[in-house]
Amino acid sequence: MVRDSTVFTDSKINIQLTEENLIGTHRYENILYTGKYLNEAKQDAQKHTQNSLIKHQHVPVKITALGGPFSTEYESVVFYHKKITGSMEWHTVFNSAVKSDSYTVEHYPNYETGELVIEVK
């Protein structure tokens, strides 16, 4: 029996993932900016900001421990982006799992290797 069926329901996309898919360790390799690419990432962000018609507001993010879980769902949601998880479906399910009391979701970014591990219990 699924602990929280709302995690696998969304009115905008058709979710085919199940709890069996969600529970466990998910590894995403070469996905985070490492020191080698950090300057390139900063230049890219600056270029997009300069070309944007909208002023961007920088919001500080407080991290409880680098390489450990983050303090709120809002600070960790960046790791669910579809460019990291590979699909809007995974993005939605991870987001919903964090908000649910039925699952524990932890993140372990490694900026030296570029690997992100998401563990769901």
Reported as a single tens digit per residue, the pLDDT across 31-87 is 776 665 666 666 666 665 565 555 444 444 444 444 444 444 444 556 777 778 888
Q: What ranges do the domains of the chain cover?
A: 5-38+60-120
Higher-confidence position of 24 and 109: 24
pTM: 0.66
- Give the integer Cα–Cα distance in Å for 97 and 115: 21
SS3 of 33, please? coil
pLDDT digits (tens, 9 = 90+) for 74-120: 445 567 777 788 888 998 898 889 889 999 988 888 877 878 899 99
